[in-house]
Amino acid sequence: MISAEGCRLTLAVTDSTQQTTPAAAADAVAVLVPQYGTLLFRVAHAALRNRAEAEDVVQETFVRVLQHHHRLNEVRDMRVWLVRIAWNLALDRRRRIRPSQMDDVFAEALASVTVPADRALAQSAHLRTVLEEMERLPKAERHVLLLNAIDEMETAEIADVLQKSESAVRSLLFRARTRLRERVERGWQARRNA
Amino acid sequence: MTHEDQHDQAIEDVLHALRITEPPQGYEARIHNALLQAAVETQRSITFNSRHPERNAAKSKYLLVSLLPYMSWAAACVVVLALGIAVRSHLQSTSTRQSSTRKVSQRNVISRVPDASPAPMTPVPALKKQALLPVSKSTQNREEVAQPQRIEVAIQTHEYIPEPPMPLTQQERLVIRMMRRNTAQQLAEYTPDARARQLHEDAQAYHDYFAATSLDGQPIYVQSIEHPQISGAN
């Protein structure tokens, strides 16, 4: 069975899965789905902003884990390892689909439904500006900002996933927020002037 | 609410929406099914391989046979390349040997020339390494004919570097110091007669001076002109 010790996991099952059938290995990997599925979905969704694509990424992540289940005992931190796999798969998928394609739907879904239609439209446009400027951020800053948006991810874990130091992650996060605020301000002014 | 607060609020809204996103219903079951399907595929391939080893062998054999023409082409290319490299290296080594022999003979002839004139000290390591190689007799005779021209050319092209001069002995240094008193013309005329004449003139001048300037009006110089000496003024 799998037991959690804080963030680290001890996989007692991995020794047995080396000799077990693929079906048993699939069952062992399926145990991880309820524990990490939501986190991985949010990670993938932050990168893709598409629910169907994010679910595909989560599914592919666990299939990859199944393919390498005999090496699970070498994994030091299961949580970070899974997030890194999902994040890299999501970034690969970003080459095929553009998250900006889904921004309109995402922004409209975020707009409040209790306000009048004209205000909801303005709010949706404002959110879309934020999403556009977020896409225009430098890659490292955008990645840190998106991973930091997920509550379950701590700075040390983000640093592990992105293979940077914690201080670098903090610095990138500060710069990303500052730059995003400035650009949103500028973009919103330009849009209003137009 | 100011514009900045509105922008901050919008950013926080977006990040919050990313934070609270929930996966769709039934995604766990779908992932479980995908895992089972992947496991079945893996099991099937394992079973197939274990039940049909001859097919695996045939497959690998087919792969080997299909790759054989490419491998033969690759081997032929490698052989041709190796032959080309060998021929080229052989040609290079032959030309290098011929040029080095020529340079060694020239260097050996030049090194036997006495050290006549100083030349700028430019290091030529390749020539210095080959200076001790032997030279055949016929080559020596042939080269001695064109020796001065070769030396001049070598000096001009800085290929010939004469050995540095030996340090002078004490006597040589004294001779040089003595000879440098006079001009070149005087040194050329410096014969025993000229030396005797000069000594006589010096003695005469000495006598004239001291005979004319004694204290009591008497000449103080009484000895012969050939061996002038200074005596007391009594």
Q: Which residues of A touch B23 (CB under 8 A)?
A: 37-38, 41, 51, 54-55, 58
CB of A178 within 8 Å of a chain B CB? The answer is no
What number of C-beta contacts closer than 8 Å exist between A and B? 112
* B97 Cα to chain A: minimum distance (Å): 58
Q: Which phi-psi region, left, alpha or beta, contains residue A112 (left: φ > 0; alpha: ψ -120 to 50)?
A: beta
The answer to whether residue B144 scores a pLDDT higher than 70 is no
Q: Label residue B106 by pLDDT band (50, 70, 90).
A: low
What pLDDT is attached to residue A113? 62
What pLDDT is attached to residue B68? 81
- Identify which of A29, A37, A185 has the shortest CB distance to residue B7: A185
Comparing B24 with A23, the larger pLDDT belongs to B24
Domains and CATH numbers, chain A: 2-94 (1.10.1740.10), 136-193 (1.10.10.10)
Kindly report, residue by residue over A44-83, the tens digit of the pLDDT. 998 888 888 899 999 999 998 888 887 777 888 888 999 9
Mean pLDDT of B112-120: 45
Helix axes A117-135, A139-149, angle to 10 degrees: 130
- Identify which of A34, A51, A127 has the shortest CB distance to residue B14: A127
* B40 Cα to chain A: minimum distance (Å): 7
ipTM of the complex: 0.77
The answer to whether residue B43 scores a pLDDT higher than 50 is yes
Mean pLDDT of B202-221: 71
Kindly report, residue by residue over A3-28, the tens digit of the pLDDT. 444 444 444 444 444 456 777 778 88
- A46-55, A182-191, B209-218, range with greatest mean pLDDT: A46-55
DSSP state of A72: G
- A18-22, B113-117, B161-165, range with greatest mean pLDDT: B161-165
Tell me whether residues B35 and A127 touch, CB distance under 8 A: no
CB of A30 within 8 Å of a chain B CB? The answer is yes
* B60 Cα to chain A: minimum distance (Å): 24
Enter the pTM of the model.
0.52
Q: Label residue A2 by pLDDT band (50, 70, 90).
A: very low
CB of A165 within 8 Å of a chain B CB? The answer is no
What is the average pLDDT value for chain A, to the nearest integer? 81
- Identify which of A46, A63, A130 has the shortest CB distance to residue B38: A63
Name residues 44-103 of chain A within 8 A of B (Cβ): 45-46, 49, 51, 54-55, 58-59, 62-63, 66-67
Kindly report, residue by residue over A88-114, the tens digit of the pLDDT. 999 998 888 776 667 777 777 777 666
What pLDDT is attached to residue A172? 93
Tell me whether residues A59 and B34 touch, CB distance under 8 A: yes
Tell me whether residues B23 and A41 touch, CB distance under 8 A: yes
Question: Is A11 in a helix, a strand, or coil?
Answer: strand
The answer to whether residue A122 scores a pLDDT higher than 50 is yes
> Do residues A126 and A188 lie in contact, with contact meaning Cβ atoms separated by under 8 Å?
yes
Please tell me the distance from the alpha carbon of residue A79 to that of residue A97, in angstroms, as a whole number: 26
Per-residue DSSP letters for A155-183?
A: HHHHHHHHT--HHHHHHHHHHHHHHHHHH
Mean pLDDT of B17-43: 84
Tell me whether residues B18 and A45 touch, CB distance under 8 A: yes
pLDDT above 90: percentage of residues in chain A: 30
Q: Label residue B85 by pLDDT band (50, 70, 90).
A: very high
Q: Which residues of A touch B21 (CB under 8 A)?
A: 41-42, 45-46, 51
Domain ranges of chain B: 90-156, 168-234
Residues whose CB is less than 8 angstroms from the CB of residue B150 and which lie 6 or more positions away in sequence, other chains included: B106, B109, B110, B143
Structure-token pair, residue B59: 């497959």
* B45 Cα to chain A: minimum distance (Å): 11
